Structure 1
Amino acid sequence: MDEFGMGSANVHSHFGPVLNPAGPVGIDQSLAVSAEEQRVAGGSSGGSAAAVAAGLCDVALASDTGGSTRLPASYCGILGFKPSYGLLSRHGLVAYASSLDTVGIMAREVEPLRRAFVSASAYDSKDPTSAPTFARTRADEVHLALRERLAGREGAGVRERPLQGVRIGVPADIFPTSLLSSSSVLDPIRTFLRTLVSLGASLSSVRLPSAPLGLSAYYVLASAEASSNLARYDGVQFGHRAEEKVGEKEQLYARTRTEGFGKEVRKRLLLGTFALSADAFDNYYLQAQRVRRLIQLELDDLFRSPSPLATPAPPAAQRHDGVDFILHPSAMSTAPLLASCSPAASGSTSTSPASPADTEPASRSAYVQDLLSLPASLAGLPALSIPAGRSTDDGWPVGVTLVGQWGADSEVLEVAQRVEAARAVEQQ
């Protein structure tokens, strides 16, 4: 995985980049091609994604702060699930950004993923962010009507069209221009949407006007929380300790942290420390929190089910308008070429600095890859990346993400299972 979960391509690892085994020519051939043709597995949990895609395991745990489960799942052509914030215990997980960190699950099929989620979803007193039992119970009550629709209890013919009555919103306004202009990536997504319609789901266009601001807000908030969480790695109680020499203790701390953290981690810690400084706190950190709240409110306003976390407790009755789920592409493109990552990003130990022309475009694109996955992360909502097919251009996997209201995790997985069953029949 990327060091401390900081990365979107899994090239910021002490052990080198993770290679994507999900190429169009099969696992063995995908790993045997030249270095110039290798593709990244995605990050930060690319190791888990590659292990699942290669068939080394049925289910793998991952972590998801801003898309670290869903992005590699999309690149590797598997399922990647970020549950509702607080449903899975984070006890034992090294903290990156405490208000965003979520334990994720990866698998090739929905059923083993669902079993893993059900087994792990329980309140844990050792995790201060674990959702209490009353919140879980309230979520069950709020989503009862949706569960009944998915169970086929509303009228004749529903079992033949198992998603009859389910509304899915497509926020086309957050689709980047580069994706809209790529028919090779859009074609599998259109096919996936047609499958949903054939199962009885209704599609509608929705808008998330504040979502593009989420990228900047996320990197301010996540970096600020990382600055606080990783301050413990000072060489006294945690982590690497630099060789002691005569001098001030501040010099020992600085040398220890410079030696112990990789380049990408140091960059984000510096950004986070600046965002929390007295001069920048109001202009950056507080503004980012306001953007986060805007995105949360916009998403809540789209869903037919009210948020179970609302205060006072929301009514059990659903709204007449609104959607049950939101669906959008998981990533901006198929898995990028490993060669497109800069030497600095890939952890090169070369002492010759790369030119800005070589490093800047790759660096920017790595951060922009998180754009589509961030709204669900900032709002703490369940999101599942589902394989939609393969690009007609390069043959690599394309994924779509299904997002539900907080606590509708089982319902998200149920929709994916119905789609999986329908596509299995089509392929027979």
Structure 2
Amino acid sequence: MSLLREAERCIANQGSHATLNALITTLQHLGPWLERVRDADTRRTQGTSKSAVDGRLIAIKDNICTRDLPTTCASNALDKFTSPFNATAVQQLEEAGAIVAGKSNLDEFGMGSHSINSRFGPVRSLRRNRDGESLSAGGSSGGSAVAVATAQCYAALGTDTGGSVRLPAAYTGTVGFKPSYGLISRWGVVAYANSLDTVGIIGKDVSSVREVFGVVNRPDSRDPTSLSSFTRSRIDSHLRSPALAARATSPLKIGVPLEYNISELSPSVLRAWSRSLAYMRRQGHTIHPVSLPTTTLALSAYYVLAPAEASSNLAKYDGVRYGTRSEGPNSATFPSGYLYASTRGVGFGSEVKRRILLGAFSLSADAMDNYFIQAQRVRRLVQHDFDAVFRAHQPIASGQPETNTNPEKDAVDVLICPTAPSSPPRISSLMDHNPRASPLDAYMNDVFTVPASLAGLPAISVPVTVESTIDSRDADLAGIQVIGQYGDDSLVLKVAELLDGRHL
């Protein structure tokens, strides 16, 4: 298919799927954009394409700054804000010939697991349950995932703080990749939790994800958390060592985390997990149970650390320096009233306010030792658990030996586990008007994605379809997650390609 025809199909799908609410803003004045696609088509014919994504339409999550389209973070606090610059990842894509297809919907400031906490309304998935009810698209990058799933774009950028790329991918049947922390620049990404935020990629398959990753996997001096060229070379050198380079031709050792086999795991997800492992065994790879004991505490630690960083980051949205300023007595009377109390009350939604309050409490003098400091200790233990089971050692940690302290027979190359413990829930069961809806239920969806985020590891969710043992006409779609050692992103993508889209 020509690039022009592909772009026209994407634009047509944006119109026909508008009710899904995946894109907040779309391309305007299509003539200049289509002309850029025609130029890319010409370069493709001549064999002079700028990159693998030259002429492709890429959706951008609306907490990533774009110069030509507004950046709202799906919040009233950033109403009608247009950035004077592109985020580094967006700039890299445009220089590679890609075209911004629009800004995708999300949970406000990336805080949510179902893309329902948006001032533009919830994102709706095409997937329905047996009663025809709309299912969750996952969050917070649900708009990016639905846009890819419905071919409104070729691929999409999202952000993953605790699973916000992988969970939507699992719920929509797409591929969601969170690279190692620091590989993709965060400059121009509106911060939620700086030590966890990672720009991720959603695509229809691993190949398209790999193409986008090849463009944005670059150092950036403007981002202090971006890995330098020297550090990247150090990681590559470690992965080319004889012991690790042999993995390209020899069977892999696949780890199965015992702690992930929880009682809440639904039968369909458990079936997809077990059959995925059986498939890998048939391909000649070996399966090994491993223990990650501290990961059972990871979710609790995450919901201390992430809100704490969020409460600090969002303090700037006071209506004086940043964001919308509300009308009313509190917005102007000083010192008789609080200058920004009304502004923050109106600007932020309920979930954002909940997390700001959680973070402010955990950072308070009386609570810091019991919550924030303890959570940081848990984070270090989670990282240690992962380092103890991988054959490759953590390549940039200070004081690490050149080889893993684990005996060779016990170490594994990657881990394979579910992305989410269950199938996507009904949207109606998640909304505020439902008396049974609880924030804790939504937080539990991140139980399998948060550990890799705390450790900064590369992780990818791929769709796996499992035929029902009861009715051959029925099939369950689940997301299966592949996790690798820090910097081992290429191996994670390689294993994901083996599982991507399998009918097992």
Shorter-normalised TM range: 0.7 to 0.9
Give the one of 389, 403, 413 matched to 1:324.
413
Alpha-carbon deviation of 1:278?
0.7
CA distance in structure 2 between the partners assigned to 1:335 and 1:391 by the alignment: 18
- The equivalent of 1:286 in structure 2 is 373
Question: What does residue 374 of structure 1 align with?
Answer: 450
Q: Measure, in 2, the Cα distance between the counterparts of 1:39 and 1:249.
A: 48
> How far is the alpha carbon of 1:186 from its aligned partner?
1.8
- Mapped to 1, the partners of 2:304 and 2:170 lie a distance apart of 25
* 1:232–1:208 CA distance, 2 compared to 1 (3 A): same
Matched, 1:178 2:284: no
Distance (Å, rounded) in 2 between the aligned partners of 1:97 and 1:135: 23
Give the unaligned 5+ runs of structure 1.
Answer: 26-32, 153-163, 345-353
- C-alpha separation between the residues in 1 aligned to 2:414 and 2:264? 25
CA distance in 2, matches of 1:184, 1:277: 43
Q: Which residue of 1 aligns with 2:120?
A: 15
Question: Residues 251-271 of structure 1: CA distance to partner in whole angstroms, max 9, x if unpaired?
Answer: 121111111000000000011
d(CA) in 1 for partners of 2:218 and 2:333? Answer: 51
Q: How much does 1:303 deviate? A: 0.5
Looking at structure 1, the residues matched to 286 and 200 of structure 2 have their Cα atoms a distance apart, in angstroms, of 28
Q: 1:223 aligns with which of 274, 299, 307?
A: 307
Structure 2 residue 241 is matched with structure 1 residue 116? no
Match of 2:248 among 124, 138, 151: 151
Give the % identical residues: 48
Is 1:201 aligned with 2:285?
yes
1:73 partner SS: helix
Question: 1:389 and 2:465 equivalent?
Answer: yes
d(CA) in 2 for partners of 1:116, 1:13: 27
Query: Where does residue 253 of structure 2 map in the other structure?
Result: 167
Alignment CA distance shift 1:285-1:199 (3 Å)? same
Separation in 1, partners of 2:421, 2:404: 36
Residue identity in the other structure for 2:370: N
Deviation at 1:174, TM superposition (A): 2.4
CA distance in 2, matches of 1:49, 1:146: 37
2: CA distance, partners of 1:340 / 1:317: 46
Given the two structures, how large is their TM-score scaled by the length of structure 1? 0.86
8 Å Cα contact 2:302-2:450 kept in structure 1: yes
Counterpart of 1:347?
none
Partner of 1:408: 488
Q: Separation in 2 of the partners of 1:77 and 1:41?
A: 10
Other structure's SS at 1:192 match: helix
Q: Is the 8 A contact 1:184 1:391 kept in 2?
A: no
User: Residue 203 of structure 1: SS of its match in structure 2?
Assistant: strand
Map of 1:29 onto structure 2: none
- The answer to whether the 8 Å contact 2:194/2:309 transfers is yes
Q: Which amino acid aligns with 1:339?
A: S
Task: Say which SS state the counterpart of residue 438 (structure 2) adopts.
Answer: helix
Provide the secondary structure at the position in 1 that maps to 2:176. strand
Measured after TM superposition, the shift of residue 245 of structure 1 is: 3.6
After TM superposition, give the deviation of residue 418 of structure 1 in Å. Answer: 3.3
Q: CA deviation at 1:310?
A: 1.8
In the TM superposition, what are the counterparts of 1:269-280 in structure 2 within 5 Å? 269-280=356-367
Distance in structure 2 (CA, Å) of the matches to 1:23 and 1:291: 38
Match for 2:270: what amino acid?
A: L
**1:188 maps onto 2:268 in alignment:** no
Q: Contact conserved, 1:52 with 1:108, CA < 8 A, in 2?
A: yes
Distance in 2 (CA, whole Å) between partners of 1:279 and 1:249 is: 29
1:41 partner amino acid: A
For 1:268 and 1:395, locate their aligned partners in 2 and report how far apart those are by CA, in whole Å.
37
Residue 391 of structure 1, CA deviation: 7.3
1:363 aligned residue: 439
CA distance in 2, matches of 1:250, 1:330: 47
1:139 shift after superposition? 1.4
Deviation at 1:336, TM superposition (A): 0.7
Q: Which moved more, 1:82-91 or 1:391-400?
A: 391-400
For residues 336 and 236 of structure 2, what CA distance do their matches in structure 1 show? 53
C-alpha displacement of 1:4 = 0.3
- The aligned length equals 389
Change (3 A) 1:298 1:200: same
Structure 2 gap ranges (5+): 1-105
Change (3 A) 1:410 1:318: farther
RMSD over aligned CA atoms reads 2.2
Query: Is 1:341–2:421 an aligned residue pair?
Result: no
Alpha-carbon distance, 1:366 to partner: 0.3
For 2:283, give the aligned amino acid.
L
Distance 2:193 2:352 in 1: 13
The offset of 1:396, in angstroms, is 4.9
Post-superposition offset of 1:173? 1.8
